[in-house]
Structure 1
Amino acid sequence: MDTALYLLPVTLGDTAIERVLPSYNKEIILQIKHFIVEDVRSARRFLKKVDRDIDIDGLAFYPLNKHTAPEVVSGYLRPLEEGHPMGVISEAGCPAVADPGADVVAIAQRKNLKVVPLVGPSSIILSVMGSGFNGQSFAFHGYLPIDPSERIKRIKELEQRIYGESQTQLFIETPYRNNKMAEDILKTCRPQTKLCIAANITCEGEYIKTKTIREWKGHLPDLSKIPCIFLIYK
């Protein structure tokens, strides 16, 4: 096993490990003793899910979130610099994609340390795959503005890009505001614009559906409290 910073995908929800992660990932994980994690509790749960006999108390965890100072993050890589493999674990899905793990990867690259991304579920990629939209050119924008007028303005800007650049536009919302976001999209976008709603990807109740704005009106599902990605295209 190479001494490297391994980017370890996790399940997107309460999904069986073997459904979404290669067995090779487990082989790598069981050889790592140092983990940089978005949330220590969820990381420990994930590792127990990978192998219930794993010695959790024998592992070292380094919390990484948007509030972690860069100099602290840089210090996290000391075990790797001393020759020990390390792993990065996100809250869900692939680390370093729309995730604070990107900060530690950037530092590892600057220090010329080896980085190895492992295969696993990415809700961004899976939603593009299932949408029927342009998979050659797409952009993920994370969360749109909370302010209603600013959010409407942003949706209009993204819609202009799909017609001007033929680029699929993706964005997310806090689960309890999903329904409001869907309503705003229907109010704002052109009737012929296509909207894909991708929810609970790889989990029980997975829902990936593409319709025009006109077709969605009066037929929106209840999206409250579930992870969801919205995609628009022409």
Structure 2
Amino acid sequence: MKKLLTVAIALALSAAVFAQDNNRQNDNESLASPDPTVMGNDSARQALREVSVDRYELEGSWNAHISPDNGVINARLFEGNPLAKEPLKGEEDAEDSKVLGIKVEFFHRGVNSFFIKSARPIPIEGVTKTISLWVAGRNMNHEMYVLVQDYNGNNFELYLGSLGFSGWKKMSVAVPPTPDGEHGIIQSSAYHGVKPGLRIVGFRVDCNPMLARGTYYMYLDDLRAVTDLYDLENRDEDDMNDDW
């Protein structure tokens, strides 16, 4: 009887540990791949579309910067593509043969950052739910952020994740909705007319002090966003634009 009781307790503990591991795995997957359908508006009033923000095909459209005290940085385009990437529906024939390469030559170890910025902030129509791009991080534990600007011109940073992985990886981040229409990232309001509410400014990489030495390479491709176009698609054709 004692043996049966011991076996039963062991099975119960194993089931609890297994369930906890599954929950932890599901939580990690949800953080890595945020679900835009559960963010913000009621799903019945959303028209979600995945749109291309930039495919990194035009030389000179992105610039890289680092403090001259910490190192030298270069940005240029290369022929290539992540093999796992799937083209957007209806854009299978769009030009998409290049990636943006970043090369950083550090002068010394230390706490420093470098920036990858668009020549001009890139507007996204509608209400942006998630932002994603493909990154080759060369398995270095640097931290990457996407820099955005809302309708009011306020700047925000959203954490994309660690670059401690090999090969290409699709990195995604959710854009938190404003809690009251007055605070946080403002994208839509009755006072804001019809202009796009979010703009992509660029990216910041915070370097791990122990790894910021020698030469570091990273590559970017296919910046996309999932955006809610409900208000734009359901706007009456005879309605006036509040942009004068």
TM band (smaller chain): under 0.3
Give the TM-score normalised by the residue count of structure 1. 0.27
Give the TM-score normalised by the residue count of structure 2. 0.26
Q: Give the structure with the higher percent strand.
A: 2
